[in-house]
Amino acid sequence: MQRLTVEHTTTYRYARPVTFGPHRMMFRPRDSHDLRLLDATIVVSPQAETRWYHDVFGNSVAVATFAEPADTLHLQSRIVIDRFPLDTTDFPIEPYARSIPFSYPASEVPDLGRTIERHYTDPERRVTEWTRRFLVGGMGQTDTEDFLINVTRAIRDEFTYETRYEEGVKGPVDLLNSGTGTCRDYALFMMEAVRSVGLAARFVSGYLYDPALDGGVSDLVGAGSTHAWVQVYLPGAGWMEFDPTNGAHGGYNLVPIAVAREPAQAIPVSGTFDGTPDDFLSLEVDVSVHAVQMLGNTA
């Protein structure tokens, strides 16, 4: 078990006081067998009324409504969680799904729905051909686990990571053209890549715990800000975590907050202001994730 604290601060600064529209925040994870939420607080400045709802995917969403203008918008979240990550990276996949291609059970296809469909055009089949390199004999019997691990690691190895705070993602073809991207660009690319061979995939936004911040050793990329990765649905194993930014799988260092069909549905903070483009000065995002040392028996 890991006990982690996550502090996430987002600050917008403006040249003069502006009026804010509603701001949508996705800071709170869902309790599950692998994550227990112990504490959660949100501080919003200027003062706002905050309401909560569950979106179409069941994610917890907070909406802040503001009554007064300000030249600074400050959103601060702190959560304390217990994580129970997999103690193995082996996938308990059903025998029929251990090699590609396979078909999902008819009873699950309606629920997987559009997570199997590709969402971005690929007129020259560049993403498709990039992915086919990891298939034995084109679409022969390729080991499912090996395929996913190889795709995850290749994205890490073949693209250059960049930090970008602006909203939006690069399309998969744009990522191939530029060779550089953020974690969310990598996640979107992997989703489209595995969907091209019929696998269901969805986008995850959350946080990355880097043991190096607590005196450990690691070579992880993406700590200090929000992070994004992919879940792929594998019969028998369920939704499995893949982090193409770090070429990792299993989700040991990942803290999922929002799960969605595409990146635009899992933006950590989104909203509007009433003013001119020149009024906006800066956006600062700071995330810290630390392990909590526990004493005694926590069972």
Q: What is the CATH number of the domain that holds 80?
A: 2.60.40.2250
> If pLDDT is split at 50, 70 and 90, which confidence band does 96 have?
very high
Tokens representing residue 14 in the block: 């403006």
Tokens representing residue 255 in the block: 């803290």
In a domain, 297, yes or no: no
Q: What is residue 224's predicted lDDT score, i.e. its pLDDT?
A: 77
Q: Tell me, yes or no, whether 149 and 236 share the same domain.
A: yes
> If pLDDT is split at 50, 70 and 90, which confidence band does 140 have?
low
What total of structural domains would you count in the chain?
2
The pLDDT tens digits for 176-211 are: 999 999 999 999 999 999 999 999 999 999 999 988
Tell me if 223 sits within 8 A of 213, measured CB to CB: yes
Phi and psi at residue 59, in whole multiples of 5°? Answer: -70, 145
Range of the domain at 262: 95-266
In a domain, 260, yes or no: yes
Tell me if 220 sits within 8 A of 246, measured CB to CB: yes
Q: Tell me, yes or no, whether 167 and 38 share the same domain.
A: no
Q: Tell me, yes or no, whether 179 and 73 share the same domain.
A: no
In a domain, 68, yes or no: yes
Q: In this structure, what CATH number is given to the domain that contains residue 234?
A: 3.10.620.30
The pLDDT tens digits for 241-289 are: 999 999 999 888 899 999 999 999 999 999 999 999 999 999 999 999 9
Q: Tell me, yes or no, whether 117 and 157 share the same domain.
A: yes
Q: Tell me, yes or no, whether 136 and 284 share the same domain.
A: no
Task: Tell me the pTM.
Answer: 0.92
β partners of residue 63:
24, 51
CA distances (Å), origin 118, targets 131, 159, 198, 289: 13, 21, 9, 33
The pLDDT tens digits for 216-230 are: 666 788 777 899 999
User: At residue 36, does pLDDT exceed 50?
Assistant: yes
Q: Tell me, yes or no, whether 32 and 145 share the same domain.
A: no
Q: Tell me, yes or no, whether 18 and 104 share the same domain.
A: no
Q: Tell me, yes or no, whether 120 and 235 share the same domain.
A: yes
Tell me if 252 sits within 8 A of 86, measured CB to CB: yes
Q: Which of these, 73, 68, 70, lies nearest to 25 by C-alpha position?
A: 73
Angle between helices 144-158 and 183-195 (to 10 degrees): 140
CA angle 190, 162, 5 (to 5 degrees): 85
Q: Tell me, yes or no, whether 284 and 184 share the same domain.
A: no
> If pLDDT is split at 50, 70 and 90, which confidence band does 164 have?
confident
Q: Tell me, yes or no, whether 167 and 122 share the same domain.
A: yes
